[in-house]
Structure 1
Amino acid sequence: MAPESLSPQKQSAETSTHDGRVPVLLPLPFAGAFEYRSAIALQPGDIVAVPLGRKDIFGCVWDRESTVPAYMAPPPVPPVDERRLKAVIRRLEVSPLPQELRHFIEWVAAYTLNPPGLVLATALKQHTQLPPKAVLGWVRTEKPLDDVRLTPARQSVLQALGDEPKSSAFLAHESGASTAVIRGLAGTGLIKEAPLLVGASFAQPQPDYAQPALSEEQEDVAQGLRSMVAAERFAVALLEGVTGSGKTEVYFEAVAACLRRGQQVLVLLPEIALSTQWTERFRRRFGVEPALWHSDLGQKRRRETWFAVADGSAKVIVGARSALFLPFETIGLIIVDEEHETSFKQEEGVTYHGRDMAVVRGRLAKAPVILVSATPSLETLANADAGRYQHFLLTSRHGGARLPDVTLLDLREDGPARGQFLAPRLCAAVKETLAAGEQAMLFLNRRGYAPLTLCRTCGHRMQCPNCTTWLVEHRNRGILTCHHCGHTEGIPKACPECDQEETLVPIGPGIERVTEEARECFPEARILVMSSDTLGSAAATAEAVRQITDGEVDLIIGTQIVAKGWHFPRLTLVGVVDSDLGLGGGDLRAAERTVQLLHQVAGRAGRAERPGRVMLQSYVTEHPVMEALASHDFEAFIEQETAQRKPGFWPPYGRLAALIISADSADVADSLAAEIARVAPVQDGIQVLGPAPAPLSVLRGRHRRRLLLKTVRGLAVQPIVRDWLSHVKAKGSARIDVDVDPISFL
């Protein structure tokens, strides 16, 4: 609840602060900006220190005029009495928050129904810090030498100094003098401290450094993307191309066009692990590496990058979804690579989709946006079909490479031996591939050794005490762990339920178990495991990629990380251990996600001169997903998926908003969910599903219930949900979270 002396700021058309009242948005979950008194002139965007209760806090002077569409804007609140206003403490001597970024923050908050202060917190972290300090060296003064005793060591320092500032380390190395001699020379007044003339933190990409030889099809698409950049207006394009068709090289031409105009480029990648190979490709094309932005960067580098983006010296930024909140000076192009990836959706805190908000950022910046994928999401395809997005196609692999042959292995007819998970035909194909000096890959999107451990005597299953999920065995570390809350415990010798020893057995395969089997089947193979458990950093990922590229690995075994946009020329065989894994659970997007993931995995094979092949192990080879993968007919699958979703107004032909109710007890969660259901909106075009227990009905110790609002496409869900929730209030431990356009249904 807001302090008594403060009140959320009413929206109005005023933008000046001449009346001494200023709206200040705080990085906290309040409904809007608070009013303060200010004796100093402040402008929207200024970062200020203000009192909040008994604490001082940094905030941003906010605009009085909202740019959010009226239907999404929260209701105005009357201003507070002037006598109750508190005063701004001071203004920070840092760069103001740019207007375009403030509008973006406001828009994200309104669209996702999140408090604007929480969205501001994403962008404000670096604003409260001073720019990186200049590195000081030494420079010659104009003081004459007559009155100073010059020893040979001092003379050597002056000779080494020259006309430009030099560091102490440089002078000591060149002159042979100690740093004490240098400091003594400074004491005479002959030299003084001065900022070193260092090069820019981020070298400038050269658009014409290494122009590629594009095919006729690639050049046609590249010219279309260059035209979008040249138009200098907002537009969205889908760049769709089969795996290995050179999509990256083609959109690099749009990047080059933007650089020639002196503008900045933002490229979003779904996984930071991808940045290793992507950055190398960028360096070969533009001569330098781009600026990176992700959570693994150190604080110092983040600060340097933030200020380089703000002053425009960082021209190309590649990063995670949070890079959308950087203060670009002149952004001229936004690219979302692998736009279909669900990892672009922020599931914790402020729930937003990086792809969709990239389109918003482009609109606010009047800059084109390019969405890139071999298997575009249905949402993006629907926008392209409706003419809202331009659609560019690359239909063939680059350099004469052809798509891999896909074989379905029906495990009902030709399955592995009992206790094993690799079918005989797959094992034979791997041996054949390795014998030919080529590389093979086994894919299973499941970490650990086994997804379930149970007692063969009493049937007890090892379950997380905090969540309704089984504990995953990680045999290499000797633990059972929950991949949702992080609970970890040792593997017991006896069953906790019946106390029988040596009765706990692993059920089902994880990547560790497949690796164990592979070492037995292919004892001579050099095996590399790629998963989040084995590649804990960008450096580890880079080293793994190097080993594969340099031919130091024969067999790659990996989880979802290997499905990303890697280019391994020697890789010719991909085997999917469990192709059916993502099809269960009743998820709306289960089939779409599975075909996208497996298509990406299959696309790693045969990307160079050597032909590739893919083997999919499945118990449902007649499933439309398997048939689409075997025939490379993604379009037919999309048509079938569209036909299933359109009649029920499921996305992208309708809108969804999920309400997730959570509480410390099941009774409280049920009671609040029932209360929300009783006041659910009733009108044409709206359907409310639930309440029902969430698939993960207990998560991190909290009981969870879900309601789903479904509307026809023409209805905006934000005002409906806002009005709906105005009739209820969560009390005690209960909480209501809203997820507009949900991706996950757990």
Structure 2
Amino acid sequence: MPDDPAPAPPVPEAGAIQRVPVLLPLPFPGPFDYKAPPSLALAAGDIVTVPLGNRRETGVVWESTATLPPDLAAPETSAPVAASRLRAVTARLDLPPLPAELRRFVDWVAAYTLSPPGMVLAMTLRLHMHGTTTPATGWLAVTPPPETLRMTPARQKVLALLEDGTARSTTDLASAAGVSAGVVKGLADAGALRTVQLGPERPFGRPDASHSPPTLHGAQETAARALCQSVRDGCFSATLLEGVTGSGKTEIYQEAIAACLAEGRQALVLLPEIALSAQWMGRFKRRFGVQPAIWHSEIGQRARRLTWLGTADGSASVVVGARSALFLPFCNLGLIIVDEEHESVFKQEEGVIYNARDMAVVRARLAGFPVVLVSATPSLETLVNAQAGRYRHLVLPTRHGGAAMPETHLLDLRDTPPARGQFLSPLLVEDIAATLGRQEQAMLFLNRRGYAPLTLCRTCGHRMECPHCTAWLVEHRARRVLSCHYCDHTEPLPDACPSCKTEGSLTAIGPGIERITEEARMHFPDARILVMSSDTLGGPAATAEAVEKIARREVDLIIGTQIVAKGWHFPHLTLVGVVDADLGLGGADLRAGERTIQLLHQVGGRAGRAEAPGRVVLQSYTPEHPVMQALLEGDFQSFMEQEAEQRRPGFWPPYGRLAALVISAENARDADDVAARFGRTAPYGEGIQVLGPAPAPLAVLRGRHRRRLLLRTQRTIAVQPILRRWLAMVAPGRGIRVDVDIDPISFL
């Protein structure tokens, strides 16, 4: 159900002051008190402007955080400001108030992540709504037209469109008439058009739940029925929808969206990659007849504004977006879908550090509606929650329409190595040639951008390193630059070694996707090759065009990074070759094995999704590794059970709680000093352990030296109260930053 209307605020007695707390989208520990002018009765959720120092800021009338659980609530730190010192609220903006459930969610996220609540509010408020909406204007024809008007065919088209008496904007007129905006402006300048104010813009069509329902059978029908019932029940539930690649998970959760729309409520779908939205949007339109609203960093400010307003007034009934869409002000949200829930990109690593998957569950629980987590390779955290009964578990064991899972083969590179200076085994080259000979499509996968991950001097051994990070510079040969993939530093590829000055001595070490493309063109000169990576695809539109080319069979060989692993349906793709299946297994990352099997299982799942059978070839130097064996046997479940048994004894997540403190400074001595002070004041006790301080694996990032400590506790011990006490014991000093990461995903 939607939030109950806020009760009318009490009318202050004559001479009394209405004190209102206002939360600002700034890094303060809580709201500031203001007074409402006598003519302005304010209620929680109202969006207002207030004075702050010598400027004005936009904020939200807030309320007490008493609803937070005890282990998350922070103690009060300051006394109320005297009434005589209160400054007055400047104005209430003509915008929908933030719903109570969203305000509770902002408080909860702030308390859980130990972030200033204003910085969480900023993800809802600051960049998307600043001030009021400017009324849109349009054009109507002046009748009769001016006698001096010089008529042209283009002008005639515009005037003909306006004969129905419907006002249109400049953009809409020019687009519909097939003319430039200058033609419209010329008519206006000639006095043939007059301006009118357009009504509120409603750019979102109403999805039709009965437009084109799919035909589901067996486990699909059972799963869809269960999800629809959870929506109709109208209370919180969390469901894991696990299904092999190609099992129809999207079609099934779209039925839950249809049930949500039938209940008159809004739905939110979170996707890990904005590139996926193009194909997903097409599937949504086929099912519901219209496009949903979309939300991600690539859409313009105007589109963001319209979507923000659409979620607030209910006209945007379905939104698909990236993780930040979780903070939109839905007025009647009734369902959240987290697609590819295992993806680490749902974790925001800077600013407010949060996991959108976990926070989606929190928002659903606080507001009392269902959330569905969807994956072919669920995260261990989600699997454990399902096994413990906290989440319902629906499983789709087979592919849709009778398609078979692809066969997986391990290619031991110790037995059949590539030719010197190359990276594709002769056996894989033969497989690709045979596939192309059958007029089928093949894919090569390597999760490494650029031409080569390292460039060194053959004469003196100098390695090209980023000046701002402890990372090697990646060669991008097509642009003749060296680039850091952590801080985006770029420099020209030099002709001589910077250290010994020897010309022509720099050589590329290891393969990147550009180098594999070069090798593929040598082996298959007649093949139509398409490269899919963030370097070659400029955004969702370019990605959509690439996917259409593949579907139209205008591509023979696809070469891609991890962008090709996520949810695409390529019906004519029958062979996937993984160039370096061992990539990602090294290092001390807690989740290295889990991530690798998820990624390789997903990319392999692109093969054989239609009538023709699929085949996956994994090139590996360690085919005996448990990840490789699990992929060979198609036994994801057993591998995850082994992974769980390795983590359980040391109460590593999900069997314990983990938080990271990352101390950074412009020089190493300051970072070491503050990290040592945190080490000396580290908490201790039964079920509590602190690891470090130690240099982070990326010891220098963007010019800042980084040291890390890890707090690990048993699952029954909350880390937030411990961290608050610990942080209060050390004053870092100017220029020192201490970042807190609750439930870290990355250990760089």
| One-letter code aligned to 1:636 | S
Q: Where do residues 70-109 of structure 1 align in structure 2 (5 Å cutoff)?
A: 70-77=70-77, 78-109=79-110
Separation of aligned partners in 1, 2:397 and 2:507: 48
Change (3 A) 1:405 1:51: same
Match of 1:38 in 2: 36
SS in 2 for 1:380: helix
- Secondary structure at 1:611's aligned position in 2? coil
Aligned counterparts of 2:575 and 2:29: Cα–Cα separation in 1: 54
- Helix, strand or coil: the match of 2:123? helix
Aligned partner of 1:284 in structure 2 is 286
| Aligned equivalents of 2:701, 2:376: Cα separation in 1 | 34
- How do 1:727-746 residues align onto structure 2 when only pairs under 5 Å count? 727-746=729-748
Q: Deviations over 1:192-226 (max 9, x none)?
A: 9464698x411111111111111222101111111
Sequence identity (%): 62
| Aligned with residue 220 of structure 2, among 218, 221, 224 | 218
Distance (Å, rounded) in 2 between the aligned partners of 1:658 and 1:744: 10
- Aligned partner of 2:47 in structure 1 is 47
Q: Is the 8 A contact 1:564 1:601 kept in 2?
A: yes
Confirm or deny that 1:514 pairs with 2:516: yes
> Once the 2 structures are TM-superposed, how far is the Cα of residue 496 of structure 1 from its aligned partner?
1.2
Aligned residues: 717
SS in structure 1 of the partner of residue 115 of structure 2: coil
Instruction: Tell me the equivalent position of 1:617.
Output: 619
* Residue in 1 that maps onto 2:382: 380
Question: What is the deviation of 1:64?
Answer: 2.7
What is the DSSP-based 3-state SS (H/G/I as helix, E as strand, rest coil) of the residue aligned with 1:583?
coil
Q: Is the 8 A contact 1:46 1:61 kept in 2?
A: yes
Q: 1:437 to 1:42 in 2, by over 3 A?
A: same
Match of 2:111? 110
Of residues 639, 642, 653, the one that matches 1:640 is 642
Distance in 2, Cα, partners of 1:292 & 1:162: 33
Aligned to 1:325: 327
What letter is aligned with 2:31? Answer: A
Q: CA deviation at 1:644?
A: 0.2
Question: Using the alignment, how far apart are the partners of 1:561 and 1:203 within structure 2?
Answer: 30
- Between the aligned partners of 1:285 and 1:84, the Cα distance in structure 2 is 58
Q: Which moved more, 1:475-484 or 1:58-67?
A: 58-67
For residue 580 of structure 2, what is the aligned residue in structure 1?
Answer: 578
Match of 1:356 among 358, 361, 378: 358
- Post-superposition Cα deviations, 1:534-593, rounded to whole Å, max 9, x if no partner, equal 001111101110111100000000001001100000000000000010101110000000
Deviation larger for 576-585 or 67-76: 67-76
Q: Does the aligned pair in 1 maintain the 2:141–2:162 contact within 8 Å?
A: yes
Change (3 A) 1:63 1:506: same
3-state DSSP class of the match of 1:499?
coil
Given that residues 65 and 107 in structure 2 are in contact (C-alpha distance below 8 angstroms), is that contact kept between their aligned partners in structure 1?
Answer: no
Deviation (angstroms), 1:66? 3.3
Per the TM alignment, residue 150 of structure 1 is displaced from its structure 2 partner at its CA by 12
Per mean C-alpha deviation after superposition, the further-off stretch among 488-497 and 631-640 is 488-497
Q: What residue identity is the alignment partner of 2:35?
A: R
Cα distance in 1 for partners of 2:577, 2:274 equals 25
Task: Give unmatched runs, 5+ long, in structure 2.
Answer: 1-7, 150-155, 178-182
Name the structure 1 match of 2:66. 66
Counterpart code for 1:21: R
Q: Give the C-alpha shift of residue 56 in structure 1.
A: 1.8
Structure 1 gaps of 5+ residues are 1-13, 187-191
1:181 to 1:544, Cα distance in 2 relative to 1, 3 A: closer
**Normalising to structure 2: TM-score of the pair?**
0.92
Residues in 2 aligned to 1:231 and 1:389: alpha-carbon distance in whole angstroms: 16
Q: Please tell me whether the aligned partners of residues 606 and 612 of structure 1 are also in contact (alpha carbons under 8 angstroms).
A: yes
Measured after TM superposition, the shift of residue 130 of structure 1 is 2.5
Name the SS for the 1:662 alignment partner: strand
After superposition, the Cα gap between the structure-2 partners of 1:135 and 1:453, relative to the gap in structure 1 and judged at 3 Å, is: same
Instruction: Specify whether residues 500 and 129 from structure 1 end up closer, same or farther in structure 2 by C-alpha distance, changes over 3 A only.
Output: same
* CA deviation after TM superposition for structure 1 residue 103, in Å: 1.1
Q: Residues 16, 530 of structure 1: CA spacing in aligned structure 2 closer, same or farther, 3 A cutoff?
A: farther
Equivalent residue for 2:121? 120
Say whether the 8 Å CA contact 1:44–1:61 is kept in structure 2: yes
Structure 2 residue 684 is matched with structure 1 residue 686: no
* Counterpart in the other structure of 2:5: none
Between 1:600-609 and 1:485-494, the stretch displaced more is 485-494
Give the whole-Å Cα distance in 2 for the aligned partners of 1:65 and 1:239: 34
Contact 2:532 2:561 survives alignment (8 Å): yes
Question: How far does residue 349 in structure 1 lie from its aligned partner after superposition?
Answer: 0.6
> Measured at CA, do residues 555 and 128 of structure 1 come closer, stay the same or move farther in structure 2, by a change above 3 Å?
same
Q: Which range is displaced more, 250-259 or 52-61?
A: 52-61
Q: CA deviation at 1:440?
A: 0.3
Specify the SS of the correspondent of 2:431: helix
Q: Distance in 2 between matches of 1:462 and 1:337?
A: 39
Q: What secondary structure, in the 3-state scheme, does the structure 2 residue paired with 1:739 have?
A: strand
Q: For residue 286 of structure 2, what is the amino acid of its counterpart?
A: R
1:138–1:168 CA contact under 8 A, matched in 2: no
- Maintained 8 Å contact 1:293/1:317: yes
Task: Measure, in 1, the Cα distance between the counterparts of 2:543 and 2:163.
Answer: 44
Alpha-carbon distance between aligned partners in 2 of 1:469 and 1:326, rounded to the nearest angstrom: 36
Q: Aligned equivalents of 1:16 and 1:440: distance in 2?
A: 69
> How big is the shift at 1:120?
0.8
Q: CA deviation at 1:304?
A: 1.1
Q: Distance in 2 between matches of 1:281 and 1:622?
A: 40
Tell me the amino acid that sits aligned with residue 415 of structure 2: E
| CA separation of 1:455 and 1:184: change in aligned 2, threshold 3 A | closer
Matches within 5 A, 1:150-189: 165-167=166-168, 179=187
Which residue pairs with 1:29 in the alignment? 27
> In the TM superposition, what is the alpha-carbon distance from 1:43 to its structure 2 partner?
1.3
1:678 maps to amino acid: R
Q: Distance in 1 between matches of 2:279 and 2:605?
A: 16
In the other structure, the counterpart of 1:709 is: 711
- Structure 2 distance, partners of 1:465, 1:185, is 59
Q: Distance in 1 between matches of 2:686 and 2:11?
A: 45
Partner of 1:8: none
Where do 1:436-475 residues align within 5 Å?
436-475=438-477
Residues 139 and 165 in structure 1, CA contact (< 8 A), matched pair in contact too: no
CA deviations on 1:480-502 (whole Å, 9 max, x unpaired) are 11111111111111111111111
Question: Are the equivalent residues in 1 in contact too, given 2:141–2:159 (CA < 8 A)?
Answer: no
Shift in Å at residue 166 of structure 1? 4.0
The one-letter code sitting in structure 2 at the alignment partner of 1:360 is V
Query: What are the residue-to-residue correspondences of 1:712-723 with 2, within 5 Å?
Result: 712-723=714-725
Q: What is aligned with 1:298?
A: 300
Helix, strand or coil for the counterpart of 1:323? helix
Tell me how far apart the structure 2 counterparts of residues 453 and 160 of structure 1 sit (CA, whole Å). 61
SS in 2 for 1:733: coil
Q: CA deviation at 1:27?
A: 1.0
Give the AA of the match of 2:54: R
In structure 2, what is the Cα distance between the partners aligned to 1:463 and 1:197? 54
Instruction: Please report how far the alpha carbon of residue 364 of structure 1 lies from its aligned counterpart in structure 2 after TM superposition.
Output: 1.9
Mapped contact 2:9–2:41 kept (Cα < 8 A): no
C-alpha contact (below 8 Å) 1:165/1:195 kept by paired residues: no
Structure 2 CA distance for partners of 1:180 and 1:471, relative to 1, 3 Å: closer
1:298 maps to a residue whose letter is G
Alignment counterpart, residue 494 of structure 2, candidates 492, 495, 508: 492
User: 1: distance between equivalents of 2:145 and 2:654?
Assistant: 82
Task: Find the aligned partners of 2:169 and 2:238 in 1 and give their Cα distance.
Answer: 52
| Matched residue type, 2:206 | Q
The alpha-carbon distance between structure 1 residues 16 and 721, as it changes in their structure 2 partners (threshold 3 A), is farther
Please tell me the residue identity of whatever aligns with 1:390: R
TM-score (norm 1): 0.92
CA distance in 2, matches of 1:48, 1:98: 15
Which residue identity is paired with 2:111?
Answer: A
**Matches of 2:630 and 2:263, distance apart in 1:** 42
Does the aligned pair in 2 maintain the 1:104–1:364 contact within 8 Å?
yes
CA contact (8 A) 1:22 1:61 kept: yes
Select the residue among 305, 318, 322 that pairs with 1:316.
318
Contact 1:591/1:625, CA 8 A, preserved across alignment: yes
The alpha carbon displacement at 1:162 in A equals 7.9
Q: Give the partner amino acid of 1:36.
A: Y
* Whole-angstrom distance in 2 between the partners of 1:367 and 1:132: 34
How much does 1:17 deviate? 9.0
Deviation, structure 1 residue 456: 1.1
The alpha-carbon deviation at position 363 of structure 1 amounts to: 1.2
Measured after TM superposition, the shift of residue 325 of structure 1 is 0.9
